[in-house]
Amino acid sequence: MERTLIIVKPDAVQRGLTGEIIKRFEARGLKIIGMKLLQVNRELAEKHYAVHRERPFFAGLVEYIISAPVVVLALEGTDAIAAARATIGATKPAEAAPGSIRGDYGLEIGRNLVHGSDSVENGVIEVANFFTEADLCGWSRDVDRWVFE
């Protein structure tokens, strides 16, 4: 089973879309194994976006993610990375498919509602940035036998 980190970003939280976004991942079949509402501090934001440190938009990313509360989710499932990213939609909302989160609710790249891990390796790293193993809850859903082979 893969793990992915999802961040319901400040724009989505402020717009009251948190429940709708979580609902889409659950309806997809992904299992929540960790969830927190938090105010990201600068240190964690810089660590999370470290891959972009040399990019001109790095400072803006950091300022944005620390500007208001976020909801972070650790999700688990078969091909969780690809499933979550398809559910989220393309980075640029104008290019995101209708039915995806960004396609339905986003207009601008800088306010694209959700972050999702982009690889299995980054999923492991990003989940560990926001959750300890003790924070995560391994559990079985009765519906799992209808979702996973």
CA–CA dist 47, 71 (Å, integer): 17
Q: Per DSSP, which regions of the chain are E strands? A: 2-8, 31-38, 70-77, 114-116
Q: Quick one: what percent of the chain has pLDDT higher than 90?
A: 92
The topology (CATH level 3) of 2-136 is Alpha-Beta Plaits (3.30.70)
CB 34 within 8 A of CB 127: yes
Kindly give the residue spans of alpha helices, DSSP state H, lying in 94-143. Answer: 101-105, 120-130
* In the predicted structure, residue 148 carries a pLDDT above the cut 90: no
- Token pair 């009765």: residue: 142
Catalytic residue positions?
115
pTM of the model: 0.95
- Both tokens of 84, joined, read 């979550």
* In the predicted structure, residue 149 carries a pLDDT above the cut 90: no
**Residue whose C-alpha is closest to residue 70's, from 115, 117, 126, 4:** 115
**Which residues fall within 8 angstroms of residue 100, CB to CB, at 6 or more apart?**
86, 87, 88, 89, 90
- Both tokens of 70, joined, read 């976020």
User: What value does the mean pLDDT take over residues 1-12?
Assistant: 97
CB 120 within 8 A of CB 2: yes
* In the predicted structure, residue 119 carries a pLDDT above the cut 90: yes
Q: How far apart are the first and last CA of the chain?
A: 12
pLDDT at 32: 98
pLDDT at 101: 98
CA–CA dist 126, 35 (Å, integer): 13
